[in-house]
């Protein structure tokens, strides 16, 4: 890697520029230094029964299991019991499992995956998570509140990654505070999604818009000057930072004296209070690789997909970046991502906004012919780029990361010889719901609540494509992952209405299969009797409060209504609890009974 002497940033502020983002540029730039004693840049994660989690993750999960989950499950149990009290008796085993009668290992190991699909998916996912949030009185009344607090893991990609990471770094606020911000005077605190300001097109005045893009590009100059590759993904990162990272609210959105989240790293999530106290589900995000060495015949034949199912898929958590896929099965510390190696370590490469950008980077899908580019959202950025970082050969498609796994597993890892990883949106292989991190055997997740807000149909509804893709990918790696059978065709999802009501997969899987039970909740249509609001276009980058409220409220209804015989299911909260404990029930050798039997008949697909 070229490490040029750091040019004083002021020298880069040409008279052309409106405001020089010196401080932000310095904060966004990684620094290089000798690796601290004892730091290893590669962890082999093993395979089969020898597969391991990082020691830090293991400590987090154990801490959460001991200090947080017993109370969380009991709270959830009380919530469900109270909400269905006059309606049904829950089987005794549900209470026994959730009140800890079987010890720490007797609780369900529960994870949540929230899909991509741009802002729409972030909003729909937030509405569903709000319905599972034990802090919201409406959710308690519905009998679904408390499940979020009981989850061990929370995975996101693309739009879902914006939701999961903004939530984690903002110290796990309520969803209303997450989206609309809270009144905190500290400029480095959480200011809300600022969704009424477009992600790229910030005003109706072309000069103002261009100035904004210039600011974004200026902020990546420090990274470039440190010799790190910068691409369109870094520019994207800097605008995401003003919406999904601490440090910007509506009032100070255009203040050029603020760093707007530059300097906040992904690894710093581990320093946030609610994380330190194990009070958050462990957040994980997914990124795809657009390797030049992929097997193109494994690209699914659907529009918008560019990544073969057989390419390695990466995850990032507060501690590690890497892949449990068998062809690599290795990790590097998130904190030292971007390190050149040979004893030299980078810090600050893992900017939160950059990682958010990687997981949601779809620029490779644009038409990159010169004339098409000019007409696309990239057009103005391109001009700004050329003016500020001349002759740098800026890549307008992928995000680039110095390959931490260079030289690893040369027989199986297709990017072993690549010095840079070419990274794109985590859904570009077709798996828009981030199941993968939750299928990692060492994580022992048994029940997955999957939120699917992909725009598969012409009207921007989900049709099961994403979960089918996961089934297809798992088939390539049968020794590494297990997934319950789902219908192989979208037509079946639509014909059987599986996207229009909650559906459970894996109810009759055997123990030997290792399949988790999947609680699938899709954005497949509006709640019963309401006009459609949650199927906005993936390209919509601006949302006003009214529209947000409408969508959040519909997502809440979708998550809390259940559907039986075409009408709202009064027993839904009980049915959800039955699904959540079903694997734990099986482990204890207890037979399904009572309302749980009829519930599973109703919601299970087989």
Ligand X SMILES: *[C@@H]1O[C@H](CO)[C@@H](O)[C@H](O)[C@H]1NC(C)=O
Residue ranges that bind ligand X, judged by CB under 6 A = 130, 136, 138, 169-171, 174-176, 184, 189-190, 205, 207-208, 246, 264, 268, 272-273, 295, 297-298, 301, 367, 369, 371-372, 410, 414, 416-417, 459-460, 532, 535-537, 552-553, 556
For ligand X, the closer CB: 7 or 208: 208
Catalogue the E-assigned strands of 233-317.
282-289, 313-317
- Least Å distance, CB 535 to ligand X, is 4
Angle between helices 206-218 and 232-244 (to 10 degrees): 100
For ligand X, the closer CB: 25 or 170: 170
Rounded CA-CA distance 559/133 in Å is 12
Residues 243 and 199 sit within 8 Å (Cβ to Cβ): yes
For ligand X, the closer CB: 15 or 410: 410
DSSP string, 476-507: H-TTT-------S-HHHHHHTTTTSS-EEE-T
- Least Å distance, CB 532 to ligand X, is 4
For ligand X, the closer CB: 190 or 319: 190
Q: Give exposure, 289-328, as e/b (b: 16+ Cβ within 10 Å).
A: bbbeebeeeebbeeebbbbbbbbbbbbbbbbbbbbbbbbb
For ligand X, the closer CB: 170 or 436: 170
Q: Give exposure, 19-37, as e/b (b: 16+ Cβ within 10 Å).
A: ebbbbbbbbbbbebeebee
Adjacent-strand bridge partners of 156:
114, 285
For ligand X, the closer CB: 102 or 366: 366
- Least Å distance, CB 104 to ligand X, is 29
- Least Å distance, CB 268 to ligand X, is 5
For ligand X, the closer CB: 75 or 102: 75
- Least Å distance, CB 444 to ligand X, is 28
- Least Å distance, CB 414 to ligand X, is 6
- Least Å distance, CB 255 to ligand X, is 14
Closest by CA to 361, choosing from 27, 198, 123, 118, is 118
- Least Å distance, CB 311 to ligand X, is 11
CA R_g for the chain: 23
- Least Å distance, CB 246 to ligand X, is 4
- Residue partners of 269: CB distance under 8 A and separation at least 6: 165, 168, 169, 275, 283, 318, 352
Residues 197 and 119 sit within 8 Å (Cβ to Cβ): no
For ligand X, the closer CB: 324 or 556: 556
- Give the residue carrying structure tokens 């760093």: 259
For ligand X, the closer CB: 184 or 386: 184
Rounded CA-CA distance 418/242 in Å is 32
CB atoms within 10 A of CB 593: 13
């Amino acid at each position: 890697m070229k490490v040029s002497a750091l040019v004083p940033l002021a020298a880069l502020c040409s008279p052309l520029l409106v405001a020089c983002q010196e401080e932000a540029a310095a904060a966004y730039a990684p620094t290089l230094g000798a690796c601290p004693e004892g730091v290893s840049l590669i962890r082999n994660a093993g395979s089969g029964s020898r597969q391991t989690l990082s020691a830090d993750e293991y400590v987090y999960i154990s801490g959460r299991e001991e200090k947080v989950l017993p109370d969380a499950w009991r709270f959830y149990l009380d919530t469900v019991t109270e909400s269905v009290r006059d309606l049904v008796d829950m089987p005794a085993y549900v209470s026994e499992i959730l009140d800890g009668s079987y010890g720490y290992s007797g609780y369900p190991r529960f994870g949540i995956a929230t899909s991509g699909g741009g802002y729409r998916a972030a909003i729909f996912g937030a509405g569903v998570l709000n319905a599972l949030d034990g802090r919201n009185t409406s959710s308690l009344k519905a009998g679904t509140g408390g499940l979020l607090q009981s989850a061990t893991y929370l995975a996101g990609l693309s739009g879902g990654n914006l939701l999961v990471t903004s939530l984690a770094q903002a110290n796990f606020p309520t969803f209303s505070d997450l989206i609309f911000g809270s009144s905190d005077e500290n400029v480095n605190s959480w200011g809300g999604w600022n969704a009424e300001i477009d992600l790229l097109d910030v005003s109706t005045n072309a000069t103002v818009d261009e100035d904004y893009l210039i600011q974004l590009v200026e902020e990546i100059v420090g990274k470039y000057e440190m010799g790190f590759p910068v691409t369109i993904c870094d520019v994207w990162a800097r605008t995401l930072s003003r919406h999904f990272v601490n440090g910007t609210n509506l009032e100070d959105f255009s203040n050029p004296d603020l760093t707007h989240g530059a300097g906040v790293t992904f690894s710093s999530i581990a320093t946030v209070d609610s994380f330190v106290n194990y009070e958050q589900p462990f957040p994980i995000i997914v990124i795809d690789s657009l390797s030049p060495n992929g097997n193109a015949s494994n690209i699914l034949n659907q529009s918008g997909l560019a990544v073969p199912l057989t390419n390695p898929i990466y995850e990032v958590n507060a501690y590690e970046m890497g892949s449990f896929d068998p062809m690599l099965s290795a990790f590097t510390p998130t904190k030292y991502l971007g390190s050149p190696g040979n004893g030299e370590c980078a810090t600050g490469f893992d900017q939160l906004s950059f990682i958010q950008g990687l997981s949601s980077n779809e620029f490779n899908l644009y038409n990159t012919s010169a004339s098409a580019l000019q007409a696309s959202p990239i057009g103005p950025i391109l001009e700004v780029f050329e003016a500020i970082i001349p002759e740098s050969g800026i890549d307008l498609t992928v995000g680039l990361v110095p390959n931490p796994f260079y030289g690893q597993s040369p027989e199986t890892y297709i990017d072993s010889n690549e010095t840079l990883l070419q990274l794109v949106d985590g859904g570009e292989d077709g798996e828009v719901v981030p199941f993968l991190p939750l299928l990692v055997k060492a994580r022992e997740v048994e029940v997955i609540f999957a939120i699917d807000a992909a725009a598969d149909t012409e009207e921007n509804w989900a049709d099961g494509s994403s979960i089918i893709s996961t089934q297809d990918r798992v088939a390539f790696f049968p020794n590494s992952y297990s997934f319950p059978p789902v219908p192989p065709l979208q037509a079946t999802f639509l014909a059987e209405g599986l996207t229009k009501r909650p559906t459970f997969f894996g109810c009759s899987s055997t123990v030997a299969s290792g399949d988790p039970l999947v609680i699938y909740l899709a954005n497949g249509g509006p709640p019963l009797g309401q006009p459609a609001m949650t199927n906005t276009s993936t390209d919509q980058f601006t949302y006003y409060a009214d529209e947000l409220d409408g969508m959040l409220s519909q997502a809440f209804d979708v998550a809390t209504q259940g559907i039986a015989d075409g009408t709202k299911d009064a027993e839904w909260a009980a049915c959800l609890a039955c699904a959540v404990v079903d694997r734990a029930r099986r482990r204890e050798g207890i037979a399904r009974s009572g309302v749980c039997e009829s519930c599973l008949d109703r919601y299970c697909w087989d």
